[in-house]
Amino acid sequence: MKAIGNDVEFAAGLLRSGKLVAFATETVYGLGANAWNESAVARVFAVKNRPHFDPLIVHLGDTAMIPFLVQEWPELAQRLAECFWPGPLTLVVPKNPSIPDLVTAGLPTVGIRMPQHPLALAMLRLANLPIAAPSANPFGRLSPTCAEHVQESLGAQVDYVLDGGPCSVGLESTVLRIEGASVHLLRPGGISLEAIEQAIGVTIASSYETTADHEPSPAPGMMTHHYAPLTPLHVVDSVAAIAEVLSGDSHQRFGLLALTDSAHAQHFAAVEILSPGGDLTQAAANFFAALRRLDQAGLSRIYAARLPNEGLGRAMNDRLRRAAVG
């Protein structure tokens, strides 16, 4: 069987027959299964080693599918979908009884999103099914932003990888819960809070920073430790302060992840600069691949410099906080 390629018809056919397809989206690669097929969805959890209390996002290729997925579709959800779909926004709304409890971890709500990547959209439309898809990585680890990342970590356990090149956004979707006319941020992501607030003229409450590692929580998948490299990662406010301490410890190999170049970079064995010009959108696109390279550089520790807490910087800081060892 073809293990990797860009054959959308083949990928859609596999999904229709209950197989697992990892596929490119504009955010990160997803590991997809027919959301209405419980044994296929169960395999997604098994392959990722994902706990069953962490709900999956359901992907759709056509808004005509919405009534089959949700129980209620608030006017605010409709407005947000019109503004941001296809795109990196997941809307959590009351679920349609046809969606298996396995998909939503027993919650009465379902997260739905229409991705923007042309291959993902074409595959979803051909399959003509709702596709449950978490990020295509082992649970708790770094999200994959190119097909090679998926092959490295999940390899033969996936029936096909639909290779759409590197992900253009590079961070998972922003997750919003919609309750009537109120909107709550569950996970910062590929669409900034500023852009959403501006589009709908509503201030958004957020609880993602306080969500703890136990149930019940508003976004059960938002574990305090997540998105983690194997190398211990520490988040710092200033590279200068840490470089001073490190310069006395020459027998250890330390890595640095920073938005822009630093005069202190010479103290580190490996350095990843996310955007030389300080552009947060470019930084997001490089984020997970840069962390992965540092993780593979044989370092004893990775230091990550906190990003400006605005726009996509907020989502990257959230991922860094969860990746950090303490």
Dist CA 288 CA 48 (whole Å): 18
Segment 91 to 150, residues that bind ligand TXA, using CB under 6 A: 92, 104, 107, 109-111, 113, 115, 133-135
**b/e per residue, 98-120, with b = 16+ CB within 10 A?**
ebbebbbbebebbbbbbbbbebb
Structure token digits, residue 279 = 């552009």
Of these, 36, 55, 233, 262, which contacts ligand TXA (CB under 6 A)? Answer: 55
Q: Which amino acid is at 18?
A: G
Q: Which is nearer to ligand TXA, 77 or 299 (CB)?
A: 77
Shortest Å distance, C-beta 206 to ligand TXA: 13
Shortest Å distance, C-beta 3 to ligand TXA: 19
Dist CA 140 CA 235 (whole Å): 18
Q: Which is nearer to ligand TXA, 51 or 232 (CB)?
A: 51
Stretch of 5-13, 54-62, 158-166, 254-262 contacting ligand TXA, by CB under 6 A? 54-62
25 makes contact, choosing from ligand TXA, Mg ion, none, with CB < 5 to 8 Å by partner type, with ligand TXA
Shortest Å distance, C-beta 251 to ligand TXA: 38
Q: Is there a contact between 257 and 234 (Cβ–Cβ < 8 Å)?
A: no
Q: Is there a contact between 273 and 258 (Cβ–Cβ < 8 Å)?
A: yes
Segment 162 to 221, residues that bind ligand TXA, using CB under 6 A: 172-173, 175, 186-187, 219, 221
Q: Which is nearer to ligand TXA, 264 or 314 (CB)?
A: 314
263-266: long-range pairs with CB below 8 Å, 24+: 264/239, 264/240, 265/239
Shortest Å distance, C-beta 200 to ligand TXA: 19
Segment 234 to 293, residues that bind ligand TXA, using CB under 6 A: none
Closest chain position to ligand TXA (CB): 221
Shortest Å distance, C-beta 227 to Mg ion: 7
Q: How many residues bind Mg ion (CB under 5 A)?
A: 1
Dist CA 270 CA 256 (whole Å): 6
132 three-class SS? strand
Terminal C-alpha separation, the chain: 44
Structure token digits, residue 211 = 């969500």
Of these, 7, 38, 42, 54, which contacts ligand TXA (CB under 6 A)? Answer: 54
Dist CA 9 CA 127 (whole Å): 8
Q: Which amino acid is at 72?
A: E
Beta partners for residue 156, in sequence order: none
Structure token digits, residue 32 = 């997809």
Shortest Å distance, C-beta 139 to ligand TXA: 9
Shortest Å distance, C-beta 266 to Mg ion: 35
Of these, 19, 34, 60, 90, which contacts ligand TXA (CB under 6 A)? Answer: 90
* 135 belongs to the binding site for Mg ion (CB under 5 A): yes
Q: Is there a contact between 139 and 48 (Cβ–Cβ < 8 Å)?
A: yes
107 makes contact, choosing from Mg ion, ligand TXA, none, with CB < 5 to 8 Å by partner type, with ligand TXA
Q: How many CB atoms lie within 10 A of CB 63?
A: 14
Binding site for ligand TXA (CB under 6 A): 25, 27-28, 30, 54-57, 88, 90, 92, 104, 107, 109-111, 113, 115, 133-135, 172-173, 175, 186-187, 219, 221-222
Binding site for Mg ion (CB under 5 A): 135
